[in-house]
């Protein structure tokens, strides 16, 4: 039987096919990361100002709600305006070079363009306020930001990761007064199991895992 390809042509074909396979894999990873909410866990995107949660939260003890003003009443936690930042930085570290974009923003009226660390795809419905109201602590999704010099993602944000919590919420829920506390639960801060079971019964276990709960 006549050989269809000469050895040189066969080698070239193999190289081309390997290149195509690598390209398809790269596109697949890109799409996967996009559907899972952006970059992979551990990634800390560059920001206009190298904001440190470790300094502001861990060292200075600033409450999440001081900067993320709508986290309890809106789908979105909100980002601090330049005016909020300047309540401190009009007096502190005024001449620091890393803060120049903040002063430029205040002077021009154009908000800082922060790069999202947790960015869900448009087909996913997520509401911060309902999770806060039901006792899901910030640390459950955002990790220990009070230890992060630069904010990075710690959760995959994949559908199965969300569903695992919806199927068994008890280990992830706290009493309302402890939701914004990054420290481990102390006595009396966790919701009692019977309260969680009542909550799950009220919502309906099926409703918690229905497609329409997150895809609307």
For residue 149, being part of any structural domain is answered with yes
The dihedral through the CA atoms of 198, 204, 206, 211 has a sign that is: negative
On whether the CB atoms of residues 154 and 143 are closer than 8 A, the answer is yes
Summarize pLDDT for 67-109 with one digit per residue, the tens.
999 999 999 999 999 999 999 999 999 999 999 999 999 999 9
Distance CA 17, CA 30 (A): 20
Alpha helical stretches, state H, 38-174: 53, 64-67, 82-89, 100-108, 128-133, 138-142, 159-167
Residue 189 pLDDT class (50, 70, 90 cuts): low
Q: Which helix (H) or strand (E) covers residue 203, if one does?
A: helix 193-203
For residue 37, being part of any structural domain is answered with no
Q: Which of 1-10, 139-148, 191-200 has the lowest mean pLDDT?
A: 1-10
Residue 36 has pLDDT above 60, yes or no: no
Cα–Cα distances (Å) from 73 to 65, 76, 78, 128, in that order, read 11, 8, 10, 8
Residue 208 pLDDT class (50, 70, 90 cuts): confident
Residue 9 pLDDT class (50, 70, 90 cuts): low
**With pLDDT > 70 as the criterion, what percentage of the chain qualifies?**
72
For residue 88, being part of any structural domain is answered with no
Would you state the pLDDT for residue 78?
Answer: 92
For residue 177, being part of any structural domain is answered with yes
For residue 86, being part of any structural domain is answered with no
Residue 34 has pLDDT above 60, yes or no: no
Torsion, Cα of 148, 48, 112, 79 (10° steps): -10
Q: Is the pTM of this model over 0.75?
A: no
For residue 9, being part of any structural domain is answered with no
Residue 29 pLDDT class (50, 70, 90 cuts): very low
For residue 25, being part of any structural domain is answered with no
Terminal alpha carbon distance of the chain: 59
Would you state the pLDDT for residue 171?
Answer: 82
Read off the tokens for 86. Answer: 């300047």
Within 10 angstroms of residue 113's Cβ, the number of other Cβ atoms is 10
| Domains of the chain: total | 1
Question: How does DSSP assign 126-161, residue by residue?
Answer: --HHHHHHTTB-HHHHH--GGG-SS----S---HHH
- The overall longest dimension of the chain from CA atoms, in Å, is 85
Summarize pLDDT for 44-63 with one digit per residue, the tens.
999 999 999 999 999 999 99
Instruction: Please give the residue range of the domain that contains residue 127.
Output: 53-79+114-214
For residue 100, being part of any structural domain is answered with no
């Amino acid at each position: 039987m006549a050989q269809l390809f000469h050895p040189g042509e066969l080698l070239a074909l193999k190289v081309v096919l390997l290149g195509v396979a690598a390209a398809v894999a790269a596109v697949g990873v890109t799409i996967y990361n996009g559907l899972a909410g952006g970059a992979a866990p551990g990634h800390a995107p560059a920001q206009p100002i190298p904001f440190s949660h470790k300094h502001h939260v861990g060292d200075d003890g600033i409450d999440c709600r001081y900067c993320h003003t709508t986290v309890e009443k809106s789908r979105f936690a909100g980002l601090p305006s330049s005016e909020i930042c300047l309540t401190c930085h009009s007096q502190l570290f005024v001449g620091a070079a890393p803060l120049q974009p903040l002063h430029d923003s205040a002077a021009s009226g154009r908000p800082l363009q922060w790069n999202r660390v947790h960015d869900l795809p448009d087909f996913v419905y997520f509401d911060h306020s309902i999770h806060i109201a039901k006792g899901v602590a910030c640390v459950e999704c955002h990790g220990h930001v009070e230890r992060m010099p630069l904010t990075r993602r710690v959760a995959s944000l994949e559908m199965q990761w969300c569903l695992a919590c919806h199927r068994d919420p008890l280990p992830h829920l706290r009493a309302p007064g402890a939701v914004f506390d990054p420290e481990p639960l102390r006595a009396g801060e966790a919701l009692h199991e019977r309260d969680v079971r009542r909550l799950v019964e009220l919502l309906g276990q099926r409703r918690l895992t229905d497609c329409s709960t997150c895809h609307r």
